[in-house]
Structure 1
């Protein structure tokens, strides 16, 4: 954390706390759905937990990127963003190929299977650069408006 300034640390702690509350809430909701309504949306409880963790990770990464707290000050943000976009698109393409060849890896009997974690991983990697590029456009527009 030495390479982050005080604002970045504050934002990471703040949204890390929000992410933790979000994680606890989703886990509790999932538990209640299973306990009282006997509802299981994943092929296994482990898959459900993994998907919930991916959703929270996507939330934390994107909110941190939007508040300039994801990348360190000296990082090549644009270069990392392009790299993450390529990795994410490859992950989504691989998920698509898996779905075409063996759809039961993604969905089985109407429930999300373990293959969907690859989809959420791709979404995570794609969402970071998208959020970064949107944030840059908003900042540029705001600077032109003020200047």
Structure 2
């Protein structure tokens, strides 16, 4: 304990960097608590090394309380918004862009079927497509190929 107090700025920097590494690498920004704490520890250590803050445990405690609260107040909304901006993206499958001629009329009910790769697939479309039309697979769901006519 005496070693940490003697080298308090360096200890704050090391603990702060470890907290940031754990938050980012291991937890993957799941909770921002270690991130805010790590930022405050690093800033406190730098301020002590620069001589702005005294190298005491009390100064370290209060500066970290204030800096953690301040960083949480400033960065909470932007980081939370950044976390929630995951929009689902359409995945291209092996069936995408496959073209074939319909043997039966196709509509949204999925009564028509098409054999592909040894599997009978239900065919669905947002619009009614007559038999004999060249179509392209738009997307594939479980057991269903959604098709659109090719002009």
Q: Do these two structures clear the TM 0.5 threshold for a shared fold by scoring above it?
A: no
Higher relative contact order (CA 8 A, sep 6+): 1
Structure with larger Rg = 2
Bigger strand share: 2
TM-score, normalised to structure 2, is 0.28
TM-score, normalised to structure 1, is 0.28
